[in-house]
């Protein structure tokens, strides 16, 4: 088995852990290759461009936070990814630094468990060509620098759902429900639930609420405004500036992401730990 390793090079503790990992793999004669930028920062010769790693490797190791894991998953495609958390609040990176080597050993022994996660696929026209972008967490259309409040028109399977006057619209998977959608007031959805959640950002009507829909629905979004351009982001990466009245389509992708599961923890424990549920708070004392 050969591992592709992606490191958040902006975190010194991730670089330290990466050096330990390389030594550990070499001692056990396990093949590995670092993503090119990570290898350059670590002064390691075994490297390949991130676009080539999936062709060379059987599995991936992500050293960073959820952002690093999201970045890795886009290039890992269907290959399993071990997410090691060297950041702070993280829901996707299930393994701590101390748990990393055990997770790799289980992968080498074939005793690991995989969690399959659905993705979104956003389709938009760029230069008269249909382009498709995948997102594990969310697809977001925002008002950006537009000085007024635009109206976001949403259709489900071709039928009008509603017109939202808001700062933006988040379409999230169950995996992404604990990311931007949650911070905008959306519900937490258990992983692998066959649903999407549509969450308005700062809606300008008190009656507007997030809505949970089947992931079999096809969502169409357009921005009703006299002018302006509006950022389309997939997992936080800008893909296009949409024009007024331009429509994008979002649906369930046929490509899934395979995350290596931490069998010593469950999702309920992760929520309690990350969100401090069940703890006493002594405010003002």
Catalytic residue among 31, 58, 66, 235: 66
Task: State how beta strands 47-48 and 31-35 pair.
Answer: parallel
CA distance 197 to 181: 8
Q: With contact defined as beta carbons under 8 Å apart, do 170 and 206 qualify?
A: no
Q: Following DSSP, what letter does each residue of 163-192 receive, concatenated?
A: EEESSEEEEEETGGGGTHHHHTTPPP--TT
Q: Closest by alpha carbon to 262, among 73, 39, 82?
A: 82
Active site residue 227: no
Q: How far is CA 2 from CA 5, 31, 87, 99, 230, in A?
A: 10, 5, 25, 19, 41
Residues with catalytic roles: 66
């Amino acid at each position: 088995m050969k591992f592709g390793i992606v490191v958040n090079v902006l975190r010194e503790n991730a670089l330290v852990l990466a050096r330990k990992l390389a030594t550990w793999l070499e001692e056990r004669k396990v093949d590995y290759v670092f993503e090119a930028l990570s290898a350059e920062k670590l002064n390691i010769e075994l490297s390949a461009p991130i676009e080539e790693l999936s062709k060379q490797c059987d599995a991936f190791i992500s050293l960073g936070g959820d952002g690093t894991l999201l970045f890795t998953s886009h290039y890992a495609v269907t290959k399993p990814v071990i997410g090691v958390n060297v950041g702070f609040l993280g829901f996707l990176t299930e393994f701590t630094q101390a748990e990393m080597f055990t997770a790799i050993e289980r992968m080498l022994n074939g005793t690991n468990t995989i969690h399959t996660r659905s993705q979104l696929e956003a389709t938009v026209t760029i230069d008269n060509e249909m382009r498709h972008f995948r997102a594990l967490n969310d697809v977001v259309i925002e008002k950006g620098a537009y000085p007024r409040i635009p109206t976001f028109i949403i259709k489900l399977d071709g039928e009008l759902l509603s017109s939202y006057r808001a700062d933006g619209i988040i379409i999230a998977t169950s995996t992404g429900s604990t990311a931007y959608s949650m911070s905008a007031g959306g519900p937490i959805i258990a992983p692998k639930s066959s649903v999407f959640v549509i969450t308005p950002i700062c809606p300008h009507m008190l009656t507007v609420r997030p809505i949970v829909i089947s992931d079999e629905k096809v969502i169409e979004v357009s921005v009703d405004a006299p002018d302006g351009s509006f950022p389309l982001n997939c997992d936080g990466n800008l893909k296009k500036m949409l024009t007024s009245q331009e429509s994008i389509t979002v649906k369930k992708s046929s490509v899934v992401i395979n995350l290596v599961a931490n069998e010593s923890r469950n999702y309920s424990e992760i929520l309690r730990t990350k969100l401090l549920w069940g703890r006493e708070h002594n405010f003002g004392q």
